[in-house]
Amino acid sequence: MLSGLSHRFRPLTVLWLTFMWVLLMGEVSWGNLVAGLGLGIIIVLALPLPPIPRSGNRVNWVKLAAFMAEWFWDLLVASAKVAWLSLRRAPQPKNAILRVPMRLSNELVLYLATCAYNLQPGGTVTDIDLANREWTIHVLDADTEADIAREIANVQKLERQMIAIFEGGR
């Protein structure tokens, strides 16, 4: 049992949690530091996270930087679109549940793609079928077949970008 604790204890995580606790409390004091340190130790030992599966991924930093710039632009556009859909005086658009296949072979990369997609307004991954490598997504604006095709194309584009960034274009 004690040998398992040595694998669970992550000092940098404890320090990060202590720092976050002090920020949350809004005051640097001995009491906040001790409480943050104690909570950090309890959290790290009681709620251990599994190791991140890194299977030799290489990151293409140039493509990652280009992706991030494009992603932030898409975030602004999607936010404006969702705001317009909610404020306009027309009926709410139809939504849809779609199943979209994913070619990402690495689960960490699939997770990162899911996070990138979920953070954009207008669509959400509601289920991930790891065995079949398939997403189930909810799309907010799916009035026409063109809207559905556009969203599927957006998912495929995200998938191609993730493959180019993390999987080396396999």
Query: What are the pLDDT digits (tens) for 77-89?
Result: 999 999 998 898 9
Number of folded domains in the chain? 2
Distances (CA, A) of 103 to 59, 79, 107, 138: 18, 27, 11, 19
Residues 95 and 19 grouped into a single domain: no
**How many angstroms separate the CA atoms of 160 and 168, rounded?**
10
Whether this prediction's pTM lies above 0.85 is answered by no
Q: How far is CA 85 from the centre of its chain?
A: 24
The pLDDT tens digits of the residues spanning 26-51 come to 999 999 999 999 999 999 888 877 76
Task: Give yes or no: residues 67 and 133 share one domain.
Answer: yes
**Domain span at residue 72?**
61-166
